[in-house]
């Protein structure tokens, strides 16, 4: 079991860094490159374990891929959806809920049997949220009481799925994406309506690759390909704002600090953290805005900030669900009490992120109260840049519970801690952010550097 010990860092810091490519877009680039016709080139592909599992799954189905590690460039030779071939092997998806839910949808439309498996954590996560609507479309999926492994199309039926109009009870990009991918090879039109709009990377990529798709508010409609193929494209994956979030919060809570993060995706469905920054008086700036491969991108400059507490709830939650653990660190440094509501989805992530985030905060000496759908965090009473962890503690140890975002959030807090912080089970960080600890520790190289 890997672990890391992080110690306090003191400025002034002036840094310019780039975090890895967006995980959601990297997953989807492999899927679309595999089912499109022609050569798809993907630059700045995320080599985290989750995305590599998606790559390996399609390679087992006969898709040819070539990856250049130094350049982070992936070439995918697609031959169309019908060219995918059955595999005698199970498709192992590691810890990736995104891969399992999206591929369950796509593979439900194919005329052969596929088995999706995952690690212990993934095997405990709920899959009925995609199984049930896919079954309404005519899919046959066997599971372990709604959990992995998933055996898809065990009857290997050649009968096509039927497009449906689905009212999703939750705003979930994974559910929406699963149904739309199934709809590509279904009869008729597939429509998904959400209570709030979730991240829309799949819709943007569908449009970019030539699918017949329409979007109106929280409603997305897709017409089937009808034996046509999507056309290969070139994709440049922006830096993941969920990964950038750790350095954005670090820049805000550390004194006399300014960090510029390059080429960050600022998709409107993903910038909930920036909306919260606005409410919490965090000083940041978006520069060099542009559109790349149908995704909006910018550089983000973050500066030391005197943070104020707020309430986080409602339709902003789907836009920052992955960032809530590190936003909790931000709230611990705010003046006043921050309340997080409507975050029930955190209960079924890689860990119960409500419980584990609270455990992390308490280990750091933060007062926090648990709620069924979130938490109440007591801030620092306006004492800007006061270090975390009670001075009487000899040391601080945090169990990440195998959750990569908890491990990274703990590390950000450690940069501003009175005592060294040891984080357990850090190997899981590689699922989304390989090289995270090296990049975090490199901030020491920027101490005293002024722009």
Catalytic residue numbers, as ranges: 322
**According to the 3-state scheme, what is the secondary structure of the chain?**
CCEEEECCCCCCEEEEECCCECHHHHHHHHHHHHHCEEEEEEECCCCCHHHHHHHHHHHHCCCEEEEECCCCEEEEEEECHHHCCCCCCCEECCCCHHHHHHHHHHHHCCCCCEEEECCCCHHHCCCHHHHHHHHHCCCCEECCCCCCCEEECCCCCCCCCECCEEECCCCCHHHHHHHHHHHCCCECEEEEECCCCCCCHHHHHHHHCCCCEEEECCEEEEECCCCCCCECCEEECCECHHHHHHHHHHHHHCCCEEEEEEEEECCCCCCHHHHHHHHCCCEEEEEEEEEECCEEEEEEEEECCCCECCEECHHHHHHCHHHHHHHHHHHHCCECEEEECCCHHHHHCCCCHHHHHHHHHHHCCCCEEEECCEEEEECCCCCCCCCECCCCCCCEEEECCCCHHHHHHHHHHHCCECCCEEEECHHHHHHCCCCHHHHHHHHHHHECCCC
CB contact at 8 A, 403 and 356: yes
| Exposure class string for 33-72: b at 16+ Cβ within 10 A, else e | bbbbbeebbbbbbbbbbbbbbbbbbbbbbebebeeeeeeb
Q: Is 355 exposed, middle or buried (0-12, 13-18, 19+ CB in 10 A)?
A: middle
């Amino acid at each position: 079991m890997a672990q890391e010990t992080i110690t306090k860092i003191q400025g002034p810091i002036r840094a310019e860094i780039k975090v890895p490519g967006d995980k959601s877009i990297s997953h989807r680039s492999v899927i679309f490159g595999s089912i499109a016709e022609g050569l798809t080139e993907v630059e700045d592909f995320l080599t985290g374990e989750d995305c590599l599992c998606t790559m390996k799954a399609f390679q087992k189905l006969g898709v040819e891929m070539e990856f250049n590690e130094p350049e982070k460039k992936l070439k995918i030779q697609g031959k169309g959806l019908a060219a995918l071939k059955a595999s005698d092997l199970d498709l192992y998806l590691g810890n990736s809920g995104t891969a399992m839910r999206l591929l369950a949808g796509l593979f439900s439309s194919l005329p052969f049997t596929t088995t999706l498996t995952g690690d212990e954590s993934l095997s405990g996560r709920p899959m009925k949220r995609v199984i049930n609507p896919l079954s309404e479309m005519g899919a046959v999926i066997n599971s372990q009481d709604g959990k992995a492994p998933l055996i898809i199309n065990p009857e290997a039926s050649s009968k096509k799925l039927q497009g449906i109009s689905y009212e999703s009870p939750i705003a979930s990009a994974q559910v929406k994406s699963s149904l739309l991918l199934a709809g590509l090879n279904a009869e008729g039109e597939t429509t998904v309506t959400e209570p709030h709009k979730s991240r829309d990377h799949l819709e943007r990529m569908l449009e970019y690759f030539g699918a017949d798709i329409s979007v109106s508010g929280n409603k997305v409609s897709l017409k089937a390909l009808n034996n046509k193929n999507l056309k290969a494209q070139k994709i440049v994956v922006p830096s993941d704002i969920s990964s950038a979030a750790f350095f954005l919060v670090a820049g805000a809570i550390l004194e006399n600090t300014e960090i510029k993060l390059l080429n960050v995706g600022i998709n409107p469905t993903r910038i909930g953290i920036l909306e919260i920054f606005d409410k919490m008086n965090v000083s940041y700036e978006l520069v060099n805005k542009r559109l790349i491969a149908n995704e909006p991108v910018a550089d983000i400059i973050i500066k030391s900030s005197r943070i104020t507490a707020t309430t986080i709830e409602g339709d902003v939650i789907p836009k920052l669900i992955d960032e809530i653990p590190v936003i909790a660190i931000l709230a611990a440094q705010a003046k006043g009490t921050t309340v997080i509501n409507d975050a029930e989805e955190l209960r079924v992530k890689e860990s119960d992120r409500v419980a584990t985030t609270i455990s992390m905060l308490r280990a750091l000496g933060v007062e926090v109260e648990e709620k069924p759908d979130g938490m109440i965090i007591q801030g620092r009473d306006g004492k800007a840049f006061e270090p975390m962890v009670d001075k009487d503690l000899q040391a601080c140890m945090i169990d990440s519970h195998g959750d990569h975002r908890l491990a990274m959030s703990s590390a950000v807090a450690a940069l501003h801690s009175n005592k060294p912080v040891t984080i357990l089970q850090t190997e899981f960080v590689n699922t989304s952010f390989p090289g995270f600890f090296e990049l975090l520790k490199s901030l020491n190289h920027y101490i005293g550097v002024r722009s």
